[in-house]
Amino acid sequence: MLEVMRDCFLVARGQSGLWFVDNDFGCIHRLCDGPIEAFTVLHNVNCCHGLIYVTSQGFLKICQLPEAYNYDNYWPVQKIPLHGTPHQVTYYAEQSLYPLIVSVPVVRPLNQVLSIMADQDLVHHMDNDATSADDLQKTYTVEEFEVRVLELEKPSGRWETRSTIPMQSFENALTVRIVTLHNTTTKENETLMAIGTAYVQGEDVAARGRVLLFSFTKSENSQNLVTEVYSKESKGAVSAVASLQGHLLIAAGPKITLSKWTGSELTAVAFYDAPLHVVSLNIVKNFVLFGDIHKSVYFLSWKEQGSQLTLLAKDFGSLDCFATEFLIDGSTLNLAVSDSDKNLQIFYYAPKMVESWKGQKLLSRAEFHVGAHLTKFMRLQMLPAPGLASEKTNRFALLFGTLDGGIGCIAPIDELTFRRLQSLQRKLVDAVPHVCGLNPRSFRQFKSNGKAHRPGPDNIIDFELLAHYEMLSLEEQLDIAQQIGTTRAQILSNFADISLGTSFL
């Protein structure tokens, strides 16, 4: 054991090293580099309170733990003061920048708010009939949106705002993405920041929004980090944008438009009409997944020959989508969606199966009641673990955030491990006390809220419930392991492999 920094120790034994945080809970973090052959403290001008170690594969690594992070959680955590409400964040890997949508409440006089409303006839009507001089002196709080570009200063660990892009009055920024577009003029790829907005002016005013494109300045000494290269108003709220094989995919209300980039203009080349309103867009290769606000998920494919967005399959059920994303497990492509009833569903496309109605219908692979609204998925590649070795090397997990302020993860595992842990889960339902009186099995069942729903397969295990296994007495652990035909060591090994495979940070 070696103390690297205050209250943090490194234990280098077994298949992977362990970081042990000396706090009230004794938090443990696993190293992702496998067995460690040798290690020691390194402290000098260039690496303050650092560590140097050699892995079993012959790699020499020099590292240090940033002091700005809190290591008492499952993942290291750092709080960043924004003095506003964050809505969406994306990452620009080339320059290590984080564009972020932030809204700040601003108090303005009521007469100023009324003067900038779009419907001037309505303003005059209110001035003459409904408002007095005293009313106009009152104040009104409005949310003003802006897009900030943040950068992490590595020496100090502080976050600096490199650029701020303010939105117009009554304009809400709905989405921000880093997109790669093929410039048809220069025949080169360009990395741009795309922003989709919507004007919120009441139900009597027709919805409209804007599509904004910004380029990044590569010079570090430049005062203007981002430069606006394109702006165009849309007839609907621009709720989602994404890049599809060098093209820009834009969701404005119920219409999805695919446009090519000429360097100064966007030219539409294909479109698809959604039922009501698109809330999310996801891309994998030439496949498109989008969620409708009331009509569940749709699975499309893009064919450049003929410039067509073709519907492959959809979910025929009624589902109020919150977020969607692709879940990749080797060569298997799954479609994840969260809804307004706090459920998580996973679909798959199988045109050769009879139940799919000749490929028109998406089939359910799993469903799970999370108990919170999931508003965003992030697809991250899983780290290789010795116990998870299989033919599927291209595995991704989905990190998700909830409106309750929580963070969770859903990850694929191999069939044998799933069957073993599913048997353990069934035993733990009766072996551990129920939190808040909630039966783990019934609480995690799909909640349809009175709507017609055909139950899907039970193919998701609850790791929160499985974690209680380690809290049982040694005698109970051995007894339960024997009942399901395995050993305690095998179960703990599966836990360690899953924990290591999802150690993204």
Query: 177, 185, 193, 167: which is closest to 264 by C-alpha?
Result: 185
Which residue would you say has higher pLDDT here, 50 or 296? 296
Residue 12 burial by Cβ neighbours in a 10 Å radius (0-12, 13-18, 19+): middle
pLDDT at 260: 96
State how far the Cα of 478 lies from the Cα of 464, in Å rounded to an integer: 20
Question: Buried b vs exposed e over 66-103: b needs ≥16 C-beta within 10 Å?
Answer: eeeeebeeeebeeeeeeebeebbebebeeeebbbbbbb
Give the pLDDT confidence of 101-129 residue by residue, as tens digits.
999 999 888 877 777 664 544 455 555 54
Please report which confidence band the pLDDT of residue 359 belongs to, taking 50, 70 and 90 as the band edges: very high
Q: What is the pLDDT of residue 155?
A: 64
pLDDT at residue 49 in the model: 80
Which residue, 243, 246, 295, 306, is CA-closest to 273? 295
DSSP class of residue 74 equals S
pLDDT of residue 224: 79
pLDDT band at 446 (very low <50, low <70, confident <90, very high): very high
Mean pLDDT across 384-405: 79
Q: Tell me how far apart the terminal alpha carbons of the chain are, to the nearest angstrom.
A: 22
In the prediction, which pLDDT does 140 show?
83
CA–CA separation, 446 and 302 (whole Å): 32
The per-residue pLDDT for 120 is: 47
pTM for the whole thing?
A: 0.89
Q: How confident is the model at residue 272 (pLDDT cuts 50, 70, 90)?
A: very high
pLDDT tens track for 159-207: 999 999 999 988 999 999 999 999 999 999 999 999 999 998 878 888 8
Q: Phi, psi at residue 358, to the nearest 5°?
A: 60, 35
Q: With 80 as the cut, is the pLDDT of residue 439 above it?
A: yes
Location of structure tokens 């070696």: 2
Whether residue 390 is predicted with pLDDT greater than 60 in this model: the reply is no
- How many angstroms separate the Cα of 47 from the Cα of each of 68, 69, 152, 250? 15, 17, 18, 46
Its sign, for the CA torsion 209, 215, 220, 222, is negative
pLDDT one-digit tens code per residue, 16-43 = 777 777 766 667 777 777 788 888 888 8
Tell me the helix, strand and coil percentages in the chain, rounded to 5.
15, 45, 40
Q: Is 147 helix (H, G, I), strand (E, B) or coil?
A: strand
Helix (H/G/I), strand (E/B), else coil: 461: coil
pLDDT of residue 118: 47
Residue 58: CA count within 13 A, CB half-sphere:
0
Upper half-sphere CA count for residue 380 (Cβ side, 13 Å): 18
Every domain of the chain and the residues it spans: 2-64
Summarised one tens digit per residue, pLDDT across range 52-95 is: 888 888 889 888 887 788 887 777 888 899 999 999 999 999 99
Residue 11's pLDDT is 67
What is the mean pLDDT of the segment spanning 306-317?
94
CB 216 within 8 A of CB 193: yes
Q: What average pLDDT is seen over the chain?
A: 88
The arithmetic mean of pLDDT across residues 203-216, rounded, is 92
Tell me the backbone φ, ψ of residue 493, rounded to 5 degrees: -65, -40
DSSP letters, 323-390, are: EEEEEEETTEEEEEEEETTSEEEEEE--TTSGGGTTTTBPEEEEEEE-SS-EEEEEEEEPPP-GGG-S
Which pLDDT does position 492 carry in this prediction?
Answer: 94
- Tell me, what's the pLDDT at 133? 59
Place of tokens 């492999």: 497
pLDDT at 481: 97
